[in-house]
Amino acid sequence: MGFFNTFKEANNEMPAQKKTLFKRLLIWKYKNISSKTFVHIMSVVVGLLAGLAAVTLKNLTYFIEALLEKGILFSNNGLYFILPIIGLTLVYLYVKFVHKEKLQLAVSSILFSLSKKKGIIDSKQIYSRLITAPLTVGFGGSTGLLGPAVASGSAISSTLGQLFHMNSKTQSLLIACASAGAIASIFQSPIAAIIFAVEVFSLDLTMLSMLPLLLASISGVLTSYFFLGNEVLFSYTITENFEVKDTLFYIILGVGTAFASIYFTKMYFGILNLFKFLKSPKYKLLVGGLAIGIMLYFIPPLYGEGFGFINNLLQGDHVQALGKTPFDRYIGNIWVVIALLFGITIFKAVAMTTTLAAGGAGGTFIPTMVMGSALGNVLAKVINNSGLGFAVSESNFTLIGMAGLIAGVLHAPLTAIFLIAEITGGYALFVPLMITASISYLIAKSALDYTIYTRELAESGELLTHDKDQTVLTLMQLDDVIEKNFKVVHPEMTLGAMLHESVAKSTRNIFPVVDEKKAFVGIVLLDDIRECMFNTDMYTTTTVSDYMHAAPEHIFYEKDSMQKVMRKFQDSGAWNLPVIKDGRYMGFVSKSKLLTAYRRELINFTK
């Protein structure tokens, strides 16, 4: 816990003596190390720590799995399918009594931190993911470890960034470095790790960002080698190269993985919405745990992450991949095998989402790979057993099916291509990878604008993209442009009282009108009262309500994104718009201040 205590000290909990020493360290850094050099140093440190977090996650999860497999509980009597509900219960207890916050999907929460929290992530995310994800996956929850590894590494980088007073742009870069380090450590694929950071986090790939990402990625890989040696996730070497005659089949696989990606995404949100009807976390746990147990009983490969399933398919051993099922007596029939594998394609998304909806922790990246491997293998088996004389490599289709699902589900085709190329130790399948991944991405992207990571953020206008204008607006904060130096008036106030108490003391030409409950009811412009300002006969005979009128548009603090605010100014033609929060007047946003803030943010973003 000493490592985490160091981070707590960053939140003003340092003893006075340590604060003084750390202040001296910061002063020495500013005097002796350039900002660029320090970012490079930090990228190495972040890569190492993110890699360490990923290795820790893997080892904790494998330790739990090994403990259960050796017979402490259920290995000899076939009751493994009740383990997920035990794991979910342990996670529920931890979240309720220790974490005390609802678990969020890892990558989505990071994207929100980048867009709306200036890259600040709660330091407790460092260790909470290291506890909840192994409990979920180790006990058979059908999720992955990549998302939690990225989240833990990102929390480490964010806390270090705060510790050394880094700006939000550098914070964002270090978070991307942490994700690269975690992915490189898990898959030992440094190039794919860099591309993932660029595609998923919408990072601008420039020379300023390229070198830190590269250093972090290398650090993550070295961490994996140091702790795990040459152990790899997929022990497979390509033996059959791409043949031009198989091109049509890879196109078909691209179309198939595209539709599977659309199904995956829709099923994800459908099940999450279904679980919203269960208000109590206890009911979600019970229903989800039982549903997962039933699926595991009939389809055992849904248990846990599923790397063993993928490796068995790559080795051509579908019997071992499927494990012991209620359909073992029919396993000699290849079409029964195909049906069972297709069942994994269908139910992996269901099992994964049910695990998350029931309160479990984990990621979606690796379940996507499992689903893709099953679909690719199914298509190859159908082709080879169709009786039409065709023969394709089932292992190659298994690999390329994974790429197709990654490209379609995550909208990350380059990550998919380079990841599969790297984990297989070469680029012999580069052409079919490009064919399948690009087709899957194009179809899935045309059908679904956003991924499971980005939909909710995009709908609320909080998603960073490669569109600079959109990104700058997303990074802007409404609080920074609200002006509150307006004199408030009330509907029953007389004209004379308004002139003496508000107009005479204001430098503005607009006056918000609020009722006794501070609810906004309208505005009065200086132009509205100009003709009668010096007519003393009207001072007591007319009131504010005689002159006020509706604002051309309203800005709702809780709902309106900066994109929507900008659009309201454009559509209304107004120079000032009132801000309403919980039905009450909060202040005004002026077009001039909004554009000034936009220009400032654009300069900060592009420099």
Upper half-sphere CA count for residue 377 (Cβ side, 13 Å):
33
- What does the alpha-carbon distance between residue 165 and residue 174 come to, in Å, rounded to a whole number? 13
pLDDT at 590: 86
Closest CA to 362 of 106, 174, 101: 106
Strands 555-556 and 576-581: parallel
Query: Domain 2-228 falls in which CATH fold?
Result: Clc chloride channel (1.10.3080)
In the predicted structure, residue 5 carries a pLDDT above the cut 50? no
Query: Domain 244-468 falls in which CATH fold?
Result: Clc chloride channel (1.10.3080)
2-228 matches 470-606 in fold: no
- What does the alpha-carbon distance between residue 428 and residue 240 come to, in Å, rounded to a whole number? 9
pTM comes to 0.77
- H/E/C letters for each residue in 582-596? CCEEEEEEEHHHHHH
Number of neighbours of residue 173 by Cβ within 10 angstroms: 28
pLDDT at 3: 42
Give yes or no for a contact between 153 and 49, defined as CB atoms under 8 angstroms apart: yes
Q: Which two tokens stand for residue 412?
A: 């990350």
Give yes or no for a contact between 263 and 312, defined as CB atoms under 8 angstroms apart: no
The rounded mean pLDDT for the chain is: 85
- What does the alpha-carbon distance between residue 392 and residue 316 come to, in Å, rounded to a whole number? 13
- Say which residues have a Cβ less than 8 Å from residue 535's Cβ, sequence separation at least 6: none
Percentage of the chain with pLDDT > 90?
A: 39
Q: What is the CA radius of gyration of the chain?
A: 29
- Span 279-305, average pLDDT: 89
Percentage of the chain with pLDDT > 70?
A: 87
Distances (CA, A) of 241 to 245, 395, 421: 12, 11, 13
- Span 491-506, average pLDDT: 88
pLDDT (tens digit, 9 = 90+) per residue, 559-595? 887 778 888 888 888 888 999 988 889 899 888 888 7
pLDDT at 8: 45
Closest CA to 98 of 135, 56, 57, 144: 135
pLDDT at 228: 76
pLDDT (tens digit, 9 = 90+) per residue, 260-290? 999 999 999 999 999 989 888 899 999 999 9
- What does the alpha-carbon distance between residue 213 and residue 39 come to, in Å, rounded to a whole number? 10
Give yes or no for a contact between 450 and 265, defined as CB atoms under 8 angstroms apart: no
pLDDT (tens digit, 9 = 90+) per residue, 374-405? 999 999 999 999 888 899 999 999 999 999 99
Q: What residue type is 583 in one-letter code?
A: G
Domain ranges for the chain: 2-228, 244-468, 470-606
Give yes or no for a contact between 353 and 345, defined as CB atoms under 8 angstroms apart: no
- What does the alpha-carbon distance between residue 144 and residue 182 come to, in Å, rounded to a whole number? 13
pLDDT at 2: 42
pLDDT at 406: 95
Largest Cα span, the chain: 102
Q: Which two tokens stand for residue 269?
A: 């949100």
- What does the alpha-carbon distance between residue 270 and residue 357 come to, in Å, rounded to a whole number? 11
- Say which residues have a Cβ less than 8 Å from residue 248's Cβ, sequence separation at least 6: none
Pick the CATH number of 470-606 from 3.10.580.10, 2.40.50.140, 3.40.50.10190, 3.40.720.10: 3.10.580.10
Most confident of 6-20, 25-39, 64-78, 187-201: 187-201
In the predicted structure, residue 76 carries a pLDDT above the cut 60? no
- What does the alpha-carbon distance between residue 549 and residue 535 come to, in Å, rounded to a whole number? 21
CA–chain centroid gap for 131, Å, is 19
